[in-house]
């Protein structure tokens, strides 16, 4: 089942109980999305701008990465007027797979995939 954010915007995200491990891991299997994950791991909500993440991609490519993460259930997008912000669905992910996000972040640090 798909949930929609409050306020009438149409950003689909899977319900917490339907999160799929393969979909989550596929969404995280990209260096840019790992940069996004690392930035969002601080628990705050962040704007959806290229400068926020320090990645060398176009705005449209970054939007694609946000969509991939959201549709896999990794993130949630908040819309206020024309502003979009994103947050990690840490509580939902930790409830479903305890330690998964910490493990991915630790592996990223060891592998040196994400440099910030």
Each residue's pLDDT tens digit, 76-107: 999 888 889 999 999 999 999 999 999 999 99
Q: Is the CB of residue 58 less than 8 Å from the CB of residue 98?
A: no
Q: Closest Cα partner for 16 from 69, 75, 93? A: 93
Residue 115 dihedral angles phi and psi, to the nearest 5°: -115, 115
The gap from C-alpha 112 to its chain's centroid, in whole angstroms, comes to 19
Token pair of 97, please? 């797979």
pTM, whole model, 2 decimals? 0.87
Cα distance between residue 50 and residue 77, in whole Å? 15
Each residue's pLDDT tens digit, 55-77: 999 999 999 999 999 999 999 99
């Amino acid at each position: 089942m798909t949930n929609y954010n409050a306020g009438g915007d149409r950003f689909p995200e899977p319900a917490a109980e339907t999160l799929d491990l393969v979909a989550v891991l596929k969404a995280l299997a990209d260096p840019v999305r790992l940069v996004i994950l690392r930035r969002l791991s601080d628990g705050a909500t962040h704007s959806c701008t290229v400068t926020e993440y320090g990645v060398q991609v176009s705005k449209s490519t970054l939007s694609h990465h946000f969509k991939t993460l959201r549709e896999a259930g990794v993130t949630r997008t908040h819309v206020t007027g024309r502003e979009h912000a994103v947050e990690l669905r840490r509580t939902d992910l930790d409830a479903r797979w305890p330690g998964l996000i910490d493990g991915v972040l630790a592996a990223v640090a060891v592998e040196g995939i994400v440099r910030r």
